[in-house]
Amino acid sequence: MRHIRLPLAILVLVAATSRQTAAQTVTKVDTDSARASITSCYGGRGLDWEASIDSPQLADHFRLRASVGQGRWVDGFESSPPAGTAPTVARLAADVIFVALSHVPPQGTGPRAWPVLRPYGGVGISVYLPRGVDMIPQRGVRIIAGMEGSGDRWTIGPEVQIDLPRTNTISRPHHGDDLLFTGRIGIAVRRRF
């Protein structure tokens, strides 16, 4: 009986003095998954914002992006407007984004090595909706370039956007009421989901 009591006492003592350990959960983050973002930019006439949704990465290099944004714009009136009268323009855009660096190791050599900074660029189409002025909506082309640093589920980095509204003097008798091209630079914050 004594031979059973000693191991039993040691087992009870070890169990009583040991701390509870929490189970660790390992989460695998899919870096190619869809993501949502908010971008804050400055384009010379004040702050600009944009919210967008990116598709999952396609063919290891491409994403589709849909965005909505708003900001102050430089207009194309023949006489220069007074300061503070630049129209507020809402925009809807669809872009194709090319991710320049996407490290895919040879098959069977291990998981994807994700670079710390990844440059990207894209081109798309936009619709510009001037608000509070007597201007009609316009279509145009948009160019995007940026670089993002990757975290666990978040990415952050600088982004440059250039909007090139198309002028159409045939359908509009007043050819001076077109938006001029504009550029913005800002910070984009994205979260994968």
**Secondary structure (DSSP) of 149-179:** EE-SSEEEEEEEEEEEEPP-TTT-S-TT-PB
Handedness of CA 97, 179, 137, 68 (dihedral sign): positive
Range in 6-20, 37-51, 92-106, 152-166 with the lowest mean pLDDT: 6-20
The fold of the 33-192 domain, in CATH, is: Porin (2.40.160)
Of 191, 128, 187, which Cα lies nearest the Cα of 160?
187
60: left (phi over 0), alpha (psi -120 to 50) or beta: left
Chain centre distance of CA 49: 12
As a whole-number percent, the residues of the chain with pLDDT over 90 amount to 37
The model's confidence at residue 149, banded by pLDDT at 50, 70 and 90, is confident
Flag the least confident range among 5-14, 29-38, 169-178. Answer: 169-178
Distance CA 122, CA 52 (A): 14
Domain spans of the chain, in order of start:
33-192
Average pLDDT, the chain: 79
Predicted structure pTM score: 0.71
